[in-house]
Amino acid sequence: MSHLFDLTGRRALVTGSSQGIGFALAKGLAEAGASVVLNGRSQDKLNEAAESLQEVGADVATRAFDVTDHDAVRAAIDGIEGDLGPLDIVIANAGMQHRGPLEDFPPDAFEALLQTNIASVFHTAQAAARHMIARKAGKIIAIASVQSALARPGIAPYTATKGAVANLVKGMATDWARHGLQCNAIAPGYFDTPLNAALVADSDFSDWLAKRTPAGRWGEVHELAGAAVFLASDASSFVNGHTLYVDGGITASL
């Protein structure tokens, strides 16, 4: 069965992959045999991430572009296809968080969440799908969240965007499955990442999380790699429009 998970000879773009979850996903795909293209806005950070992967033998390229800019995303993906070759796998991972009481939530922060967490998924998926549809094959994976299903105080706009991601992949599957594409989402629970640094540093929150999560702990980013390899590989050839929760059981338990 191991050949079903083998990504040798395939190329993957992971947005927002200079650090955190995106970097862990890119590393996991590379370890499964894929060539990876890292994306972010800082070329310096991308270079550091690429060097780290190259040290363990990965085939890595980098592309710096803003995933909230539709034209820039399309130009970048068209350029990758032309310069490096076909993209078999695209993971739309770029995201942001902004916390605050909903009654005082700044409208500009709300707009930034919409652009970064949901519009960027649309831009990336559409640009990639135009190439994949012509080849009648492709894997598109969006990064949703435990907040696609649950809410907690202070992050209502973030919750809205991640609920939209889960529904967008259903729409992608509905439109594009007939063209040979598989479009799914991974929904991480609470992971120790730069995005969650404030929560990780909050001992009261970490204690609450350990009690709330059946696994009793924060997740570690490498624990997301298996889900990404599964959804990027032939093993998921009939999985479409699905959101896979990797959350230590938090969505299964009251």
Instruction: Return the active site residues.
Output: 158
Cα-flanking dihedrals φ and ψ of residue 13, to 5°?
-105, 130
- List of long-range contacts for 129-134, beta carbons under 8 Å, 24+ apart: 129/172, 129/176, 129/179, 129/181, 131/77, 131/78, 131/81, 131/86, 131/87, 132/87, 132/176, 132/179, 132/180, 132/181, 133/176, 133/179, 133/180, 133/181
Amino acid at 75: A
Beta strand residue intervals within the chain, DSSP E? 11-14, 35-40, 60-64, 89-92, 138-143, 181-188, 243-246
In angstroms, the CA 45 to CA 160 distance is: 29
